[in-house]
Amino acid sequence: MSERKPYLLRLPRDLMDDLMRWAKDDLRSFNGQIEWILRDALRQKRRKALIDATPQFNPPPAKSKKRTSGEPGACDVETDGSGQEQRNPHP
């Protein structure tokens, strides 16, 4: 077991009473309950920080081409995922 450093913690009486009831419900000591709450809060904070730091992969929208060949000045028409068309004349 790791070394424990004593620390004086002052709490309002109503908060302390609520924590004592919670500890009793969870079959923990008062001190063990506070330690569990703090460790759980740190775990959640780290998890959230890890999720926030993870880059999200958003692939670009697929492009589609349709050929308007057979017409004078034919060109390729590309559409991006938003429906915008970009015309690329043939060389």
- Residue 1 or residue 12, greater confidence: 12
- Residue 4 or residue 1, greater confidence: 4
- In whole numbers, what is the pLDDT of the chain averaged over residues? 78
- What is the structure's pLDDT at 22? 96
**DSSP letter string, 47-79:** HHHHHHHSPP--PPPPPEEEE-TTSTT-EEEEE
Structural domains of the chain, count? 2
Cβ–Cβ < 8 Å for 67, 74: yes
Q: What is the pLDDT of residues 48-82, one digit of tens each?
A: 877 777 777 776 776 665 655 555 555 556 665 56
Let me know whether 20 and 34 are in one domain: yes
Tell me the two tokens of residue 17.
């009473």
Distance CA 33, CA 16 (A): 11
Let me know whether 43 and 63 are in one domain: no
Structural domain boundaries enclosing 89: 59-91
Structural domain includes residue 79: yes
Let me know whether 47 and 72 are in one domain: no
Distance CA 43, CA 41 (A): 5
